[in-house]
A and B are shown apart, each in its own frame.
Chain A
Amino acid sequence: MPQQAPLYIVASPRPRVGKTLIARLLVEFFRDNGRALVGYDLDPREPTFAGYFPDLVATMNIADTPGQMALFDRLLAGIPRTTVIDLGYGPFEQFFDVMTEIGFVQEARRRSIEPIVLFVTDPSPGTVRAYADVRRRLETTAFVPVHNEAVSVMYEKADFPPSRGEYGVIRIPRLSAIVRGVVDRPSFSFGAYMTERPGGPTEIHSWIGTIFTEFRELELRLLMGKLGASLSDSVVGKLSATLRSGR
């Protein structure tokens, strides 16, 4: 099986739910793993994500056709790399409209790129509807809900079913307000903080550690999910039997 490059789309139809924070964490997680990486910030008015990684993240405006070509054609060109898109609430609808209309997912797969939607949830009915809607339109695409505890304490699992049960949900724990202020500084780097700051573990250390563990497990679950989808049940059964006996 050829190496597949994941295309993470961090999305929500609502502002201020932590999309950019999650996109940043993903970029730093992959960068720490030494992965070839590229990012896109789809909010041309306020490209916060691009501001954190000027060398890695390009700002794109998909409001018109040339902008759509700049993004989608570029995503499909060249050697597939791990990609993180921070999809602002502004272009949310447009992005998924274009994506479905041009048949992006099939073409991406043909080029060994696997789109994964990380959908940042919130309890508003509009968001629940938007989730159901895009999931229906992109039936074969992996959807993993993200619960940002800083946005809402409550999380109704039934509102945001992942596209495969085992994908679960990514939980982003709440940070205290003071610490959040530190993390939001433009020069702050999660990876650097983890390695450079000696001394006992702080709240931020364990917070970053928790999230990076979530990401690591997510990648494993996605891989298993893909195996499960691409192999027949009997093969999977045999494989897991082999794994068990080998243990």
Chain B
Amino acid sequence: MAKPTVVVVGADKGGVGKTTVARTLLDYFTAHHVPTRAFDTESPKGTLKRFHPDISDIVDVTSVPDQMRIFDTLSTTDASVTVIDVRAGLLSPTLRSLRDIGFLEAVKKGQLNFAVFHILGSSIASLNEIEDTSAFTTDAKYFLVKNYFNNTSFFEWDQPTHAAYFKRFKDAVEITIPKLNEMAYEQVELASVPFLTFVANKNAKGDAANYSFVLRGYVRHWLGNVWGEYDRIKLNDFVASAAAPAGGGPRVQVVRTAQ
């Protein structure tokens, strides 16, 4: 059995687009034919579950039964990647639980792949949160995600603070999520489908939809840029060491717009 991969997507505060990033990751793995499952911690109503109902479950990561559902099944599930969208404020507690149950130890021994996508807020309030998490993630791939998708003016930090902040994560890799056209984003929200499905002009049932080509174009271009970032950090190679070769699953053709 190949090595399973766990990807934790978290933020220290809400409204920074954490679930958006998780959705782009699920689309990315879908496109690369990597069998993936997802856990949404926004109980009782999960946004991720709304967009990816077939592969998502809603859980409470702090509860033992749900921890068992996620982590005890890692070696038995068909999915080679498990994406966990961790609710705002729960990133540190979640990582602490992972240490306590011996998960981080297994990562250290190389039995599991572990990546953390930490979505940064625009304010300095999240500094303490990062210090917290750095202690747990020495063996993880740690990605600091600057998310511009719904925001044009972001990161108005002064340089020294910024530098001091990132110094703690000398192994962390920065990822930038570019801005997405607001109307396009809104339409995907309304459609409640994965970005990839929207681009393919399909509805949630897989039937032909009638979305605006302009908006689909904006989403395709944006998704291409986001995936460009994932390619840059070699995300697929990271999980491919675990992933089974592409078997079944829907084949989705994604056309990247040439720059």
Contact = CB atoms under 8 A, between A and B. Distances in A.
B220 interface: yes
Nearest to A99: B217
Interface in B53-89: none
Contact of A101 (B183, B221, B255): B221
A69 interface: yes
Contact of A72 (B183, B214, B257, B258): B214
Interface string A66-90: 1011001100100000000000000
A102 B255 contact: no
Given A103-B221, A107-B217, 4 more contacts: A69-B212, A101-B221, A102-B257, A139-B258
B217 A101 contact: yes
A101 B257 contact: yes
A215 interface: no
List 8 tightest A-B contacts by C-beta distance, closest first.
Answer: A102-B217, A65-B183, A103-B257, A69-B214, A69-B212, A72-B214, A101-B221, A68-B214
B221 A102 contact: yes
Contacts of A69: 183, 212, 214-215
A73 B183 contact: no
Interface of A is mostly: helix
15 contacts: A65-B181, A65-B218, A68-B214, A72-B214, A73-B213, A73-B214, A101-B217, A101-B218, A102-B213, A102-B216, A102-B217, A102-B257, A103-B255, A104-B217, A106-B255
A65 B257 contact: no
Task: Using C-beta atoms within 8 Å of the partner chain, give the interface range for chain B.
Answer: 10 to 19
B220 A73 contact: no
Interface of A: 65-66, 68-69, 72-73, 76, 98, 100-104, 106-107, 139
B255 A65 contact: no
Interface of B: 181-184, 212-218, 220-221, 255, 257-258
Contacts of B218: 65, 101-102
> Which of A100, A101, A104, A139: most chain B Cβ within 10 A?
A101
B214 A98 contact: yes
Contacts, number: 46
B49 to A, nearest CB: 29
A10 B245 CA distance: 50
A102 B220 CA distance: 7
A65 B214 contact: yes
Nearest to A104: B217
B213 A65 contact: no
A47 to B, nearest CB: 21
A68 B215 CA distance: 9
Contacts of B216: 102
Nearest to A65: B183
A66 B220 CA distance: 18
B198 to A, nearest CB: 13
Interface centre among B212, B214, B215, B216 (most CB of A within 10 A): B214
A242 to B, nearest CB: 36
B101 to A, nearest CB: 46
Contacts of B213: 72-73, 76, 102, 104, 107
Nearest to A72: B214
A203 to B, nearest CB: 44
A65 B217 CA distance: 12
B85 to A, nearest CB: 28
Contacts of A107: 213, 217
A103 B183 contact: no
